[in-house]
Amino acid sequence: SFNITSEIHCRTKVRSPQHYSYPSIFIYGHRASGKSHVLHILMKELELPHAAVSCVECVSAALLYERVLTSFFGRSAASFLPRSPSLSEFVRLYRHQRSQSPAEQTRYIVMEKAELLRDADANLLPALLRLQELVDDNITVILLSEIVWEKFRPNTGCFEPLLLHFPDYSKGSLQQILSTDSHPSYSAELYSSYINILLGVFYSVCRDLRELRHLAALNFNKFCEPLTEGKVKETETHKLWRNIEPHLKKAMQTVYIREVSSLQWEQMQQTEDEGGALRGLSAHTHVELPYYSKFLLIAAYLASYNPARTDKRFFVKHHGKIRKTNFLKKNEKTSNHLLGPKPFALDRLLAIFYSVVDSRVAPTASIFSQISSLVTLQLLTQISHTDQLDAPKYKCSISLDFISAVSRTVNFDIVKYLYDFL
């Protein structure tokens, strides 16, 4: 980021402030790669007139227009916008304000999370890319995004912006940046060695600076426990490593997920140290679902991992004595859990649901809406086409640990109903 900043700074120095800049610049790179920070430092240090716009906050084009006019011409200029301004009204008002307050140097509009513009009006993104031409002003629009331009470009075509890529931080750069957050109670050398251990575990699966910084702060107290207890010295790094290694490996299960809060994670660490069993975090023990949604999820899991021909054995009361050997084919030796979830029809899901739920439930619209909610939460996956309304098909996308945790909350022993565990 420092090299990119220096390069942009030098180019800015070569170009006179009153000269027109390139109409639009597209800066892309993964999250926490320094895009916003570099732009903020540039605008601040060079005292460039700019409007900082977050596409998350500006949920409508009207808020975007208001933010731009307020940043460049004051609140009085934005007050002339109608309640639901069109693009042409914004351009007309900008031209009017520009004639009264001409630009002495390039104005910049910095738009963060610019990928959200793809969901806006079809004419907004092409207009922003050539806003300099529309308003006849020395203005440059800078788009910051986490996706590449090829996935960003509108199908209708548009002005091609100048592309600038921010690469991911290297391991050495992450070591240098994270080491600046050293703890005041310990030496900088100790914290640097801790960061080196942390990156040795997490760098292969996570290179996000924010996530690594969160993990570093979350596990540092555990790393220092032998020091506070007087068992080891700061120079005995290998002993500190043996103490923290199992905890860092458990923390790998929660990278990006944040299934539990920092306080809950510390409490779970203490529970394990006191001899209690620490359940796997990937079991989603803290998931909260409506009562019948849990049974729908259980039914979906059973439909995905049990062969359809075994439904009679599990869910019909008077099915007679049927041995498992009668179900087995000669070549059927592979576990269904190893083969993965199988698709199932909606009618089969509901049939299993009404069999496992402990009370009579009418097939109301609420039940069907809860199925849609499970799809939205990505606990179920709809594999049939959305226009296929007569027989939609689904697939369960959760693990055995997950459904076991859900089953315990409703006192349902799901293992007894799984064909692989007979």
The pLDDT tens digits for 198-213 are 888 888 878 888 888 8
CB 314 within 8 A of CB 417: yes
Tens-place pLDDT, residues 392-404 = 889 998 888 888 8
SS3 state at 63: helix
Give burial (CB, 10 Å; 0-12/13-18/19+) of 56.
exposed
Cα 262 from chain centre: 18
Tens-place pLDDT, residues 349-388 = 888 888 888 666 666 777 888 888 888 888 898 886 655 5
Q: pLDDT higher for 176 or 268?
A: 176
Q: How far apart are CA 228 and CA 249, in angstroms?
A: 22
CB 150 within 8 A of CB 163: no
Question: What pLDDT shows up at residue 283?
Answer: 40
Give the gyration radius of the chain's Cα atoms.
Answer: 29
Mean pLDDT of 14-39: 84
Across the strands, what pairs with 381? 395
Q: Which residue is associated with the tokens 């806006």? A: 120
Q: Extract the tokens encoding 387.
A: 């226009």
Tens-place pLDDT, residues 274-304 = 444 444 444 444 457 888 888 899 999 999 9
Q: Which residue is associated with the tokens 């001409």? A: 102
Taking alpha carbons only, the member of 299, 407, 404, 298 closest to residue 345 is 299
SS3 state at 112: strand
Q: How far apart are CA 331 and CA 334, in angstroms?
A: 9
Q: How far apart are CA 145 and CA 24, in angstroms?
A: 13
CB 354 within 8 A of CB 316: no
CB 119 within 8 A of CB 87: no
Q: How far apart are CA 419 and CA 422, in angstroms?
A: 6
Give burial (CB, 10 Å; 0-12/13-18/19+) of 184.
exposed
**Which residues contact residue 249 at a Cβ distance below 8 angstroms, ignoring those fewer than 6 apart?**
201
